[in-house]
């Protein structure tokens, strides 16, 4: 049984704790929290499951003294990048493996090293110092934009292009960072002439999603030469009451963008988002067929070639709690936690999804 210390009990991290508790080959031995109001509380109380006997502490050093096999680090949010990097480096230098949710400089490892900055270099050096292993699950929310396209590519005899689509309705979106993501990064709920951080000058969308495109293209043997970006808004003709608050007539209520990985001047790998604040906004833009058990974040992967292979990926989480958005949270958490045995068994260094063998959930109540 592998002993695990966990960090993070937010939107995604609380499902990671449940995964740790439910897997018979993993044992939760410590809980690290960066939130003062959570210190001293049982992990089960914080994530909504039965008591675990493990209480949250802010003493990372004491938890590392327990000599766990792995730390699952789920507090890598863009609002605390420096602090999270310091923690991860300290853990890895102690010779303890880490699995984590996405941080953009790390998600594609060596496949995107040319885009990497000082965070990547620090983590790589820490792995070398501690002879430890670091695996970070991808964005989007992992799996749909890294493993799934390569899985479909394995059934083709010729590949012309790969397109990964997220078609999302943010009518239940809970902001952990106020209005930063929806309004300032994406431009939703803003005037159409507002310049969102993600799209002007375009470095944001390339920074977040470019590593995934590079990873796929490199696995196919044709590295990306360049990126191109397209972006368009849909403006509501009437006032809308949304989970973000009031969006007035004349403000942006849906966005569509595409990031193309170019090979010899041709778009070969594309990540594309259609994001609405309500189901009936941007009615002429593409939608996916109804699903019986799906959250509003839905994905379609299309590998054009011989044959053309496509798949719609849904992740329903109606049984877990607050809203439909949580399907994506469960996917991100489970994909990361279930990787722990493979990561612990792997050679030191920064790993990406293609570096790991096939792995699966082992929580089988039957």
Average pLDDT of 342-362? 93
- pLDDT score, position 174: 57
- Which neighbouring-strand residues pair with 334? none
Provide the 3-class DSSP secondary structure of residue 192. Answer: coil
User: What superfamily does domain 2-137+339-355 belong to in CATH?
Assistant: NAD(P)-binding Rossmann-like Domain (3.40.50.720)
- For the record, the structure tokens of 265 come out as 């001047």
**Cβ neighbours of residue 125 closer than 8 Å, sequence gap 6 or more:** none
**Closest to 345 (Cα-Cα) out of 333, 362, 357:** 357
**pLDDT over threshold 70, residue 324:** no
Distance from C-alpha of 212 to C-alpha of 219, rounded to nearest angstrom: 11
Average pLDDT of 303-315? 93
CA distances from 114 to 95, 137, 224, 251 (A): 26, 19, 11, 37
- pLDDT score, position 288: 86
**Closest to 244 (Cα-Cα) out of 284, 187, 162:** 187
pLDDT 10s digits, 83-139: 999 999 999 999 999 999 877 667 766 766 766 678 888 999 999 999 999 998 877
pLDDT 10s digits, 40-58: 999 999 998 999 999 999 9
- pLDDT score, position 295: 58
CA distances from 128 to 22, 122, 198, 347, 352 (A): 32, 10, 33, 11, 17
Distance from C-alpha of 343 to C-alpha of 334, rounded to nearest angstrom: 14
The fraction of the chain above a pLDDT of 90, given in percent, is: 63
- pLDDT score, position 29: 98
- pLDDT score, position 242: 86
pLDDT 10s digits, 238-261: 999 987 889 999 999 999 999 999
pLDDT 10s digits, 156-215: 999 999 999 998 887 766 555 556 678 888 899 999 999 998 888 777 888 888 888 998
Distance from C-alpha of 136 to C-alpha of 103, rounded to nearest angstrom: 7
Q: Which strands sit side by side in the sheet containing 70-73, from one edge to the other?
A: 56-57, 26-32, 2-7, 70-73, 97-100, 133-136, 349-351
Task: For the chain, give the mean pLDDT.
Answer: 89
Per-domain boundaries in the chain:
2-137+339-355, 147-317
């Amino acid at each position: 049984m592998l002993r695990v210390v966990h960090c993070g009990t937010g939107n995604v991290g609380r499902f990671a704790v449940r995964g740790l508790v439910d897997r018979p080959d993993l044992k939760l031995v410590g809980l690290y929290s960066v939130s003062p109001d959570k210190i001293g509380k049982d992990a089960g109380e914080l994530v909504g499951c039965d008591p675990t006997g493990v209480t949250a502490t802010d003493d990372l050093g004491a938890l590392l003294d327990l000599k766990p096999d792995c730390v699952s680090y789920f507090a890598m949010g863009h609002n605390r990048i420096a602090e999270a990097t310091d923690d991860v480096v300290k853990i890895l230098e102690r010779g303890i493996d880490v699995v984590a949710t996405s941080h953009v400089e790390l998600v594609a490892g060596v496949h995107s090293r040319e885009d990497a900055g000082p965070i990547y270099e620090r983590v790589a050096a820490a792995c070398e110092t501690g002879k430890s292993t670091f695996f970070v699950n991808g964005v989007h929310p992992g799996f749909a934009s890294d493993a799934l396209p390569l899985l479909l590519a394995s059934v083709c005899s010729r590949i012309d292009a790969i397109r990964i689509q997220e078609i999302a309705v943010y009518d239940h979106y809970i902001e952990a960072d106020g209005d930063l993501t929806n309004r300032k990064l994406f431009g939703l709920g803003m005037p159409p002439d507002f310049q969102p951080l993600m799209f002007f000058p375009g470095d944001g969308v390339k920074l977040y999603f470019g590593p995934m495109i590079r990873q796929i293209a490199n696995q196919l043997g044709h590295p990306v030469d360049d990126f191109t970006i397209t972006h368009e808004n849909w403006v509501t003709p009437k006032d809308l009451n949304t989970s973000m608050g009031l969006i007035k007539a004349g403000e942006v209520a849906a966005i569509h963008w595409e990031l193309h990985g170019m090979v010899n001047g041709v778009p070969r790998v594309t990540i594309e988002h259609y994001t609405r604040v309500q189901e009936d906004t941007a009615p002429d833009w593409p939608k996916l067929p109804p699903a019986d058990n799906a959250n509003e974040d839905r994905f379609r992967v299309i590998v054009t070639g011989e044959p053309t292979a496509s798949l719609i990926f849904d992740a329903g989480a109606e049984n877990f709690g607050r809203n439909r958005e949580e399907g994506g949270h469960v996917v991100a958490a489970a994909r990361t936690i279930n990787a722990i045995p493979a990561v612990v068994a792997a050679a030191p260094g920064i790993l990406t999804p293609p570096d790991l063998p096939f792995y699966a959930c082992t929580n089988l109540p039957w």
